[in-house]
Amino acid sequence: FLVHSVPFNIHLIPRPRHMKNDALNETTHLLRPFDRKGLWSTAKVILLGGAGFCADGYDLSVMNLAMAMISEAHPGSLTPASKGICTSLTLVGVIFGQLIFGPVADILGRKFASEMTAFLTVFGALCSACCVNTSAWWSFAAQLSLWRFILGVGIGGEYPISAAMSKEGPATVSLTRTQLLIVNIALFNVGGIMMSTFVYLSIMNNIPAAIGWRMALAGGAVPSSIAFFLRLRMEEPHVEPDLSTNAVRGVGRFGSSLRHVLLSKFRVLVFVSLAWCLFNFSAYGQSSFSALICTTMFGQVGESSTQRLERDVVFALCGNAFSLLGTCFALWLETNGMFQRRISLFAGFSCMGALTLLSSDMWGLLPASSSWLLLSFGFLWYAAVGFMGSVTYVISAENFSSSIRATAVGVAAAVGKLGAALGTFTFPVWVEASGLNTVLFGFGLVPLVGSLMTCLLNPLDGLQHEHPNQIVCGASSTNGRGCKATPL
């Protein structure tokens, strides 16, 4: 574990099991009661990191409904294969952004990197809304795929940068670092809710699908624009300099930290990356085509395209709301000191797999009057996805030092999005070839592989020293009890 150095009178006092985690650390409870300064500082940190994540939640989930509206407005413009390619290219862009902007943030700083990612997200979202039908070589699908790829690069950069900014925010924030990370994921789900609500209101106001899909895609630029202008005025987060070189950022410090990670924490990085990959394969593959699932399972004979679209939007809205509930449950566990990483990872994987397998087995066997049971399985699955998103994000961000944190989170998230790209490309093609039942069964087995991996491979247990259960006491105490805890 890491301990702040003080000139004299330092000793370690083990924290009793019953003691509340209210010290200035990265464990569970609120650091201090809310005050005006702390509240504003906390809100600013949340907006700086969370506004970009909110845009990501909007942009990554909007394609599900936008493609349904595009198919209604421009029949034949998107084939099943082109839908899969377009969605997958967005995720390929996300992978590039995660791998590129992680090192950029560690070498050049969080401020510059965060401004670039916000700009790319705004640019990609607006250009996506301007696609038109032209020649064969520059088709509608080709345009949409290109602009969504650029958008994905910006989105990808948000993952490592938001994690780093939340972990390195000012000491005046009123939440622990882990709580801030979970709030980021919550705002990701809020972005999905905003998207579904926006599309639903468009339908209720009889906005034509030809205009509605453009408005939906352009709407992703709004939260990113807010993040961009906030970041123009932000200060670079404080980072302790390297004791040997006195360097805060730079290639030298980045290189030495990278070597340290490869030597001492390679198993941790591999484990976290694989967990994120398996989770995203199932989560993105199914949620990106929730409209297809909803129509296949709950569609009615003779319904109009507007009725079908309205039902799909309501289903997506409820799904995003349940994902937010799952994230809030993770926040509640963290606040009460019960957010055990390994147990949470195992439980999340197991719930996702079991619920998907149940949906696969019971669909077609239940009478129409019992369709509410299938809906319950689907919404509980969304809650498990929100919970798992918090777990994978937190364990990636909390196990690496600030000099390499953005890069490590970027690598883990990139491997995760590789799984997402495979899932989104596989799902529609596999459904067309084998039917939804078979696909759901296969996608239900993937999280169970994650559960097995969590049981057999567990490098996180050896990292308890990264999250100390001790309080440091001495002359430099600041919390009124003669004790000062030690954030990473």
Each residue's pLDDT expressed in tens, for the chain with a length of 488 residues: 333 443 433 333 343 343 333 333 444 334 444 456 667 777 777 888 787 788 878 887 788 778 878 888 888 777 777 877 887 788 789 889 999 998 888 888 888 898 999 999 999 999 999 888 776 667 888 888 899 999 999 988 988 888 888 877 666 677 788 888 899 889 989 988 988 888 888 878 888 888 888 998 998 888 888 888 888 887 776 555 443 444 445 565 666 667 766 677 888 889 999 999 999 999 988 887 887 888 888 877 777 777 777 888 888 889 989 999 999 999 999 999 899 888 999 999 999 999 999 988 887 777 766 778 888 999 999 999 999 999 999 988 887 777 778 888 889 989 988 898 888 888 888 988 888 889 999 999 999 999 999 988 766 654 433 343 333 333 333 333 333 333 33
Structural domain contains residue 279: yes
What is the predicted pLDDT for the residue at 325? 96
Separation of alpha carbons 261 and 156, rounded Å? 22
Distance of alpha carbon 234 from alpha carbon 162, whole angstroms: 13
Q: What is the DSSP string of 45-106?
A: HHHHHHHHHHHHHHHHHHHHHHHHHHHHHSTTSS-HHHHHHHHHHHHHHHHHHHHHHHHHHH
Q: 47-67: string of b/e by CB count within 10 Å (b at 16+)?
A: bbbbbbbbbbbbbbbbbbbbb
pLDDT digits (tens, 9 = 90+) for 307-347: 777 888 888 889 989 999 999 999 999 999 899 888 999 99
**Hey, what are 209's tokens?**
């699908």
Please check whether residue 258 lies inside any domain of the structure: no
Q: Using CA atoms, how far apart are residues 386 and 328, in angstroms rounded to an integer?
A: 8
Name the domain count of the chain: 1
Q: What is the dihedral angle through the alpha carbons of 52, 58, 64, 67, rounded to the nearest 10 degrees?
A: -90
Classify residue 45: in a domain, yes or no.
Answer: yes
The rounded distance, in Å, linking the Cα atoms of 384 and 58 is 19
**Pairing relationship of beta strands 483-484 and 11-14 according to DSSP bridges:** unpaired
DSSP 3-state assignment of 213? helix
SS3 279: helix
- Please report where in the chains the tokens 């199932």 appear, as a residue: 282
Of 422, 424, 400, 426, the C-alpha closest to 411 is 400
> Is position 212 within any domain?
yes
Answer yes or no: is 39 within a domain.
yes
Residue with tokens 């490590």: 408
Q: Give the count of beta carbons closer than 10 Å to the beta carbon of residue 163.
A: 31
Strands (E), 318-448: none
In this structure, the number of other CB atoms found within 10 A of the CB of residue 72 comes to 17
Positive or negative, the CA dihedral 21, 110, 326, 343 is negative
Residue 413's H or E segment, with its range, is helix 405-434
Please calculate the CA angle 217-223-225 and round it to the nearest 5 degrees: 95
Residue 223 lies in a domain: yes
What sign does the CA torsion over 255, 259, 264, 268 have?
Answer: positive
Helix (H) or strand (E) holding 266: helix 266-287
Domain of 36, in residue numbers: 26-236+267-467
Sign of CA dihedral 337, 340, 341, 345: negative
Q: What is the pLDDT of residue 350?
A: 96
Q: For the segment 288-310, what is each residue's pLDDT rounded down to a tens digit?
A: 788 788 888 887 777 777 777 78
Is 424 domain-assigned? yes
Of 286, 302, 262, 227, residue with least CA distance to 411? 262
The pLDDT score that the predictor gives to residue 322 is 95
- Distance, in Å, from the CA atom of 380 to the CA atom of 369, rounded to the nearest integer, reads 19
CA atoms of 403 and 164, how far apart (whole Å): 10
CATH of the domain at 408: 1.20.1250.20
pLDDT for res 126 = 94
Task: Note whether residue 335 is domain-resident.
Answer: yes
Residue 264, number of CB atoms within 10 A of its CB: 9
